[in-house]
Amino acid sequence: MIPRREELCMMFRFIPASATIIAVVISAIVFITAPAAASDKAAVQDATAKCKAQVKEQAKFQEMSLMAKHKAVKKCVSDILAGQ
């Protein structure tokens, strides 16, 4: 069955309209989440700096391996971010 001319015209009008709507929705999602991701990144960097200083102080008084220091920093950062 061959579609009629009116059906083809309707279909070709619908495709660009739906693509435009999809593009608008995707761009809106990107622009909404971008500032949130930037603020989260800043919070993680701030927490990491604080935790590194704290673990460095602990390492002065305790003998800690490099892996133990790394684990302590990761745990400290996750605790700080969970508390926010």
Q: pLDDT by residue (tens digit) across 50-67?
A: 999 999 999 888 888 989
Please list the alpha-helical segments (H only) found in 1-84. 5-61, 66-83
Q: Residue 11: is its pLDDT beyond 60?
A: no
- CB contact at 8 A, 84 and 43: yes
Q: What is the pLDDT confidence band of residue 40, given thresholds at 50, 70 and 90?
A: confident
**What is the pLDDT of the chain when averaged over all its residues?**
78
pLDDT at 76: 92
Which of these ranges, 26-30, 34-38, 71-75, has the smallest mean pLDDT? 34-38
pTM comes to: 0.54
Note down the domain range covering 63: 5-83
Whether the predicted pLDDT of 83 surpasses 90 = no
Q: How many structural domains comprise the chain? A: 1
Distance spanning both ends of the chain, measured CA to CA: 62
Tokens of 25: 């929705």
